[in-house]
């Protein structure tokens, strides 16, 4: 499978922080300040999760993200980091020119894909949704209720199996690969699969503001990433009113950053 990535530069990224942060920055080490912006129930959740995994978020003050600026999978991570106010560095990886992939990521991610993350203690983590869970657990972006947590996973597995393989891949071939003829060759299959995923998403959002419970969560981040740029893969969202309204709600969340920020 191929996905949408591009570029070869190295940059230092300091994300815009959530709007309620005094100095526009929040270190993950700064748990006290992080708790300040949580509602009381979120504070309890944060404490419980920190106890559970001994501050797993807390030591990741400065992490390195192997990133692609155009990748929706990488954007999921950048979006959550922006909303958490986490500082991090990025190393840009080309997914069109892939000859150095084993050399670059071989020790870090058996999948040899981006996003790949290196924590400040040297441990690494791959898979966009796994990274979201690692940093999102114990924050307001992941519910505490076991059923709702399972629903977040339900949407994230759906995204990886039924949504991203069509919508992200169509977008990649059409807009970023330099081989649009490959999009044309696969067009029928990719559009059929992508529209089936959009139909499912529309059903899931009927009479709901967000995918899980009544609030924005990691599930929304995961599904937003490629849905909001689906037009680049030739998908039209005109027949999906619930999706379009939800995209607007997600984009209006505090600390939101666009994919090209």
Ligand X SMILES: N[C@@H](CCC(=O)N[C@@H](CS)C(=O)NCC(=O)O)C(=O)O
Give me the residues that bind ligand X (CB under 6 A), please: 2-5, 68, 71, 73, 95, 98, 101, 113-115, 127-129, 160
CB of 139 to ligand X, least distance (A): 20
d(Cα 104, Cα 112) in Å, to the nearest integer?
8
Of the pair 21, 170, the CB lying nearest ligand X is at 170
Nearest approach, Cβ of residue 111 and ligand X (Å): 7
Shortest CB 114 distance to ligand X, Å:
4
Q: Which is nearer to ligand X, 71 or 217 (CB)?
A: 71
Question: Which CB, 45 or 155, lies closer to ligand X?
Answer: 155
Task: Indicate the residue among 25 and 179 with the shorter CB distance to ligand X.
Answer: 179
Nearer to ligand X, 160 or 186 (CB): 160
232-to-169, 187, 227 alpha-carbon distances in Å: 10, 13, 10
**Least separation, in Å, of the C-beta of 222 and ligand X?**
9
Q: Minimum Å distance from CB 30 to ligand X?
A: 28
Q: How far is CA 97 from CA 4, 6, 28, 167, 178, in A?
A: 12, 8, 33, 21, 11
Of residues 7 and 31, the one with the C-beta less far from ligand X: 7
Q: Cβ of residue 237: shortest distance to ligand X, in angstroms?
A: 21
């Amino acid at each position: 499978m191929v996905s949408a990535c591009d570029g070869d530069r190295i940059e230092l990224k300091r994300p815009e922080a959530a709007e309620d942060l005094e100095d526009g920055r929040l270190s993950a080490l700064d748990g006290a300040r992080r708790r300040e912006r949580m509602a009381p129930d979120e504070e309890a959740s944060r404490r419980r999760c920190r106890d559970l995994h001994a501050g797993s978020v807390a030591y990741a003050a400065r992490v390195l993200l192997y990133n692609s600026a155009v990748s929706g999978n990488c954007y999921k991570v950048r979006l959550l980091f922006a909303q958490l106010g986490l500082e991090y560095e990025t190393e840009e990886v080309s997914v069109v020119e892939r000859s150095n992939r084993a050399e670059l990521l071989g020790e870090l991610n058996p999948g040899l894909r981006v996003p790949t993350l290196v924590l400040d203690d040297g441990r690494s983590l791959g898979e966009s949704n796994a990274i979201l869970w690692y940093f999102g657990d114990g924050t307001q972006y992941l519910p505490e209720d076991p059923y709702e947590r399972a629903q977040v996973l339900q949407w994230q597995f759906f995204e990886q199996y039924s949504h991203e393989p069509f919508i992200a891949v169509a977008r990649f071939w059409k807009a970023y690969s330099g081989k649009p003829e490959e999009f044309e060759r696969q067009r029928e299959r990719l559009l059929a699969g992508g529209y089936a995923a959009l139909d499912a998403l529309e059903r899931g959002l009927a009479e709901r503001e967000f995918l899980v419970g009544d609030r924005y969560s990691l599930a929304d981040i995961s599904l937003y990433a490629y849905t909001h740029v689906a037009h680049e893969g030739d998908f039209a969202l005109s027949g999906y009113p619930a999706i379009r309204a939800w995209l607007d709600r997600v984009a209006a969340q505090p600390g939101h950053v666009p994919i090209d920020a």
